[in-house]
Chains A and B, each alone.
Chain A
Amino acid sequence: MLKPEVRDQYTTTIGIECHVQLKTQTKLFSAVGNDAREAPANTLVSHIDFGMPGALPVLNQEALRLAVKAAFALGTEPERFSKFDRKHYFYPDLPKGYQISQYDEPIIGKGSLQITIDGEVRTIGITRAHMEEDAGKSTHPAGKDYSLVDLNRAGTPLLEIVSEPDMHSAAEAKAYARELYLRMRYADVSDANLYYGNMRFDVNVSVSKTSQLGTRSETKNLNSFRSVEKAIEYEVNRQIERLEKGEAIVQETRGWDDAKQRTFSQRSKENADDYRYMPDPDIPPVVLSEDYIAEIKAGMPVMPDVWRQRLSSLGLDTAQTETLIDAHVDFADEHYLELLEAVIDEGPLAKQLATWLVNVDVPFVREQSGERQPIERLTLYRAVAALVSANKLSSTNAKALIIDLLGAASLPANIEAFATDKGYIQESDEGAIAAIVSQVIADNPKAAEDVKAGEMKAIGFLTGQVMKLSQGKANPALAGQLIRQQLGV
């Protein structure tokens, strides 16, 4: 194990390349289905994906539109001029002998995003992002003298987002990865399903004792935020240990063994590959008009950083805010933030709703499994809020009512009647509660004396007894008030 004082002598520098699969119906350059998740091998392949003689790529306009959205999501604008290039290498899962990518004039130039670490906001620069096609999938059955190639994934549209080497800890890198994920989801650019590899991270890590950057390793194909964090932690330790032993760091590509929680060497990069990039003459350069860009910009959804500000100004703390930020994409069908958006100008209601969503709705939905009927939530919450502000519902009963309604097959026509039937409506008749209060004081003389002696905690106990006796229907605030009144405090 490294001693912290040794570790602290080193500065870690991290840059991340992230491949995001764009959410299109068809591939980047061919009219073939893009969803390779369940398809049998080599069934989503056209003459274009197969690299047939005479086959030409034609740019998918939807992929372009999504890339333009991604530009706004990354805090920048799309480049007005960009082009596609060919990156050459031979491999069986690369049918044309070159990958179509964007080399020196990508669709997205410099951008940035913010992450918060320990309450401190940091800006991480985006160097660039470019569109490219994915390769096919090779498998090498153990003990066999052949390999298998599945071209279903070949030609899938990817956006590769390259960060500046602006991160200095595994925690920052993880936060950056999560923020990228959220932005891609909020912008609806990608399903970003990590399990299916819709989003993959390559992390470049180096350590140095001086202001000069150390030799870096690149750990490829990480598909969870946790593996990003763990792989970086492992790499930092490995590199420092080597340097402490007087060994050099080799510039290389490494893989991540999730079972063993360690990185391993894949291939040395000492001899840089020569990909012989050249402009792809089959694809005319992409020239975007101002109208086109403006139209997409106008339709951009609100990004998580803006939502964080809104939620915090509604009084949510960081944890509550992040619960909603995540829930918006984890439970996209519930449309949480759209719901809040609809009432954002009704201050108290928005605040009340946000609290209910965080404390009641999200935990409820998280517990559910299987299909549920969509519930008209705005109607639900407006009705519950009205009952609360009319003093007819305690906060505890409000929560119970919300859960009942969320679980209902459909929303009852009269929510107050439903709440009454359920026994949630609280008693606010002063005479009736006063009678119960008298009885409770009579039954609990010790507590009554304590209150009189100034032990205010006992009021809580007595109020609890009133609630119990009223079967939860008494308005607790009113009960407390009447207890004080009758005991003369």
Chain B
Amino acid sequence: MSAWLPISEIARLVQTGELKAVDLVEQALATISEKQDYNAIIVTLEARARERAMAIDAQPTGRLAGVPFIAKDNFLVFGADTTAASNILRGFEAPYQATAIERLEAEGAICVAKANLDAFAHGSSTENSDFMTTKNPYDTSRVPGGSSGGSAAAVMLDMAPFALGTDTGGSIRLPASYCGAVGYKPTYGLVSRSGVVAMASSTDVIGPITKTVADAALVLDVMSGRDDLDGTTIDADPAGYAELEKSLAGKKVGVIKEYMAEGVAPEVKAQIEAAIATIKAAGAAVVEVSLPSLPSALAVYYIICPAEVSSNLSRYDGQRFGHSYADATSLEESYKKSRSTGFGKEAKRRIMIGTYVLSSGYYDAYYKKAQTVRTKLINEFNEALQSVDFLLGPTAPDIAFKIGENIDDPLKMYLTDILTVAANLVGVPSISIPAGTAHDMPVGLQIMAAQRHDRQLLGFAKEVEGLLV
């Protein structure tokens, strides 16, 4: 049982005065302190959170009044350290804040802590954090998944009712799957990226990690919609996301053939098949759908993503903020040493790959070709989503792996993203919800819908969630 009431209920009780924001903040901080051995949290924002809680108790309004939450440490929260779990940003205090944080705070939510991640969100386990590895709440010898591993673990450890993550190739859904949480990746552009440390700008999205679909939908409802500070944002659904319609019976669901093929652990596959049978029994039509370009998705992703990463990380040059190599005697040396001592191994690997694929003479062979295949993938998804309402498969090919198991094999690590990257490349919404266990570890069911069909997807996922309890 969760230590927290549903988010809407918490806010209602704070509004009526039956719950006090200060007590909720203390509960969150106490849990964080009690469970610090899980390494889910990089920094707590005690003073800031307590101050906000008092202000909210004095005037308890807002749809998230008094609700504590945890932000992945790549969100800029005004006045708080923002490191992206990288040494190059150690000690960087945010001089402005993310639109997502701004909107949540405007409705009374309180950021109590910043969660661990793979540095700059590069990874699938949080092992690439320059600070520490987060432990899986189900089995501390295993990873929580990544890169939003700290956020997913924090929610499952009851540190707060919800946490924010970012999902560039699966970074919300994979840890949700590994930790047994609900992880929601909205349509690209539905939530502003302003004030969030960029990884790969064309696939980065911001979303909630929660214990229930209803909680995720409410948080999305508050954060979503066009933002003047992000030119890629789109309008939210006029009907919003908080009040979801029943949406299962009569819906047409496509099981992705390529997602149920070899490479997926049999125990995971069995759980997904069981979930599909349940969905079918509840009145949805289930068909098999093939997306022939899917096997190329991971390759495409690991060209486009490092290309954008290499570009986005250019600004960390040791000249204006963050880590700077103090003993440099020339500009050239300052650049080289600041970056080589500030970035971790994975960031350097991606900068190297990205720089290579964008280089003159290789651009056409790699970056351009990858974009061509990406367009093909988009067309296949669009076509499939014209004949079915939702696409479905596992979130990850296997359960959470052991800490250290993949750390020396980047290719194996990249393969954990194989089922999640397509949604990012295509820009469609995708959710991971718990669907049983394998070897006593959570298994995640992934459901995708067409772009801007977030409302429909959340409605469907909520009903499936009810069936799978």
Question: Is A95 touching B315 in the complex (CB atoms < 8 A)?
Answer: yes
Question: Is A54 touching B202 in the complex (CB atoms < 8 A)?
Answer: no
Knowing A98-B311, A276-B358, the reply to whether A56 touches B230 (Cβ < 8 A) is yes
Total number of B residues with any Cβ neighbor in A under 8 Å: 44
Give the residues in chain A near B359, CB-CB below 8 Å: 274, 276
Give the residues in chain A near B367, CB-CB below 8 Å: 278
Question: Is A54 touching B358 in the complex (CB atoms < 8 A)?
Answer: no
- Chain B proximity of A273: nearest CB distance (Å): 9
- Chain B proximity of A458: nearest CB distance (Å): 81
Q: Which residues of A93-128 are within 8 A (CB) of B?
A: 95-98
- Which among A55, A88, A280, A281 is the interface contact of B314 at CB below 8 angstroms? A88
A341–B99 alpha-carbon span in the complex (Å) = 51
Question: In the complex, which residue of chain B has the Cβ closest to the Cβ of A278?
Answer: B358
Question: In the complex, which residue of chain A has the Cβ closest to the Cβ of B231?
Answer: A58
Question: In the complex, which residue of chain B has the Cβ closest to the Cβ of A274?
Answer: B360
A284–B226 alpha-carbon span in the complex (Å) = 14
- Chain B proximity of A250: nearest CB distance (Å): 21
A96–B321 alpha-carbon span in the complex (Å) = 12
Category for how many chain A residues contact B: 20 to 34
Knowing A56-B194, A276-B355, the reply to whether A284 touches B311 (Cβ < 8 A) is no
- Which among A52, A53, A59, A88 is the interface contact of B231 at CB below 8 angstroms? A59
Question: Is B315 touching A54 in the complex (CB atoms < 8 A)?
Answer: no
A95–B316 alpha-carbon span in the complex (Å) = 9
Question: Is B231 touching A56 in the complex (CB atoms < 8 A)?
Answer: yes
Question: In the complex, which residue of chain A has the Cβ closest to the Cβ of B230?
Answer: A56
A88–B196 alpha-carbon span in the complex (Å) = 21
A53–B335 alpha-carbon span in the complex (Å) = 17
- Chain B proximity of A377: nearest CB distance (Å): 44
Question: Is A284 touching B231 in the complex (CB atoms < 8 A)?
Answer: yes
A446–B132 alpha-carbon span in the complex (Å) = 117
Question: Is A282 touching B96 in the complex (CB atoms < 8 A)?
Answer: no
Give the residues in chain B near A281, CB-CB below 8 Å: 200-202, 232, 308
Give the residues in chain B near A52, CB-CB below 8 Å: 95-96, 321
Contact string, B90-133, partner A, CB cutoff 8 A, digits 1/0?
00100110100000000000000000000000000000000000
Contact string, B19-36, partner A, CB cutoff 8 A, digits 1/0?
000000000000000000
Contact string, B228-270, partner A, CB cutoff 8 A, digits 1/0?
1111100000000000000000000000000000000000000
- Chain B proximity of A152: nearest CB distance (Å): 15
- Which among A47, A53, A92 is the interface contact of B331 at CB below 8 angstroms? A92
- Chain B proximity of A129: nearest CB distance (Å): 22
Contact string, B178-202, partner A, CB cutoff 8 A, digits 1/0?
0000000000000001111110111
A280–B230 alpha-carbon span in the complex (Å) = 13
Contact of B76 with A by CB under 8 A: yes
Contact of B307 with A by CB under 8 A: yes
Knowing A47-B95, A278-B358, A281-B201, the reply to whether A56 touches B311 (Cβ < 8 A) is no
Contact of B388 with A by CB under 8 A: no
Contact of A50 with B by CB under 8 A: yes
Contact of A51 with B by CB under 8 A: yes
- Chain A proximity of B442: nearest CB distance (Å): 31
Question: Is B314 touching A96 in the complex (CB atoms < 8 A)?
Answer: yes
Question: Is B308 touching A54 in the complex (CB atoms < 8 A)?
Answer: no
- Which among B228, B319, B320 is the interface contact of A58 at CB below 8 angstroms? B228
A339–B95 alpha-carbon span in the complex (Å) = 52
Give the residues in chain A near B320, CB-CB below 8 Å: 50-51, 95
Question: Is B232 touching A282 in the complex (CB atoms < 8 A)?
Answer: yes
Q: Which residues of A418-451 are within 8 A (CB) of B?
A: none
Q: Which residues of A148-201 are within 8 A (CB) of B?
A: none
Contact of B221 with A by CB under 8 A: no
Contact of B42 with A by CB under 8 A: no
Give the residues in chain A near B307, CB-CB below 8 Å: 278
Task: Give the one of B75, B82, B198, B314 with max A CB within 10 A.
Answer: B314
Contact string, B416-448, partner A, CB cutoff 8 A, digits 1/0?
000000000000000000000000000000000
- Which among B89, B202, B229, B230 is the interface contact of A53 at CB below 8 angstroms? B89
- Chain A proximity of B344: nearest CB distance (Å): 16
Question: Is B76 touching A54 in the complex (CB atoms < 8 A)?
Answer: yes
Give the residues in chain B near A276, CB-CB below 8 Å: 310-311, 355, 358-360, 363
- Name 30 interchain pairs, CB-CB below 8 A, sorted by A: A50-B320, A51-B320, A52-B95, A53-B82, A53-B84, A53-B89, A53-B197, A53-B198, A53-B321, A54-B194, A54-B195, A54-B196, A55-B194, A55-B195, A56-B193, A56-B230, A58-B229, A88-B314, A90-B314, A90-B317, A92-B319, A92-B331, A95-B320, A97-B311, A276-B355, A277-B363, A281-B202, A281-B232, A282-B198, A282-B231
Q: Beyond A274-B359, A276-B355, A283-B232, list 19 extra A-B contacts (CB 8 Å).
A: A47-B95, A53-B84, A53-B92, A53-B198, A53-B316, A53-B321, A54-B75, A56-B229, A88-B358, A92-B331, A96-B315, A97-B311, A97-B314, A97-B315, A98-B311, A276-B358, A277-B363, A278-B308, A278-B363
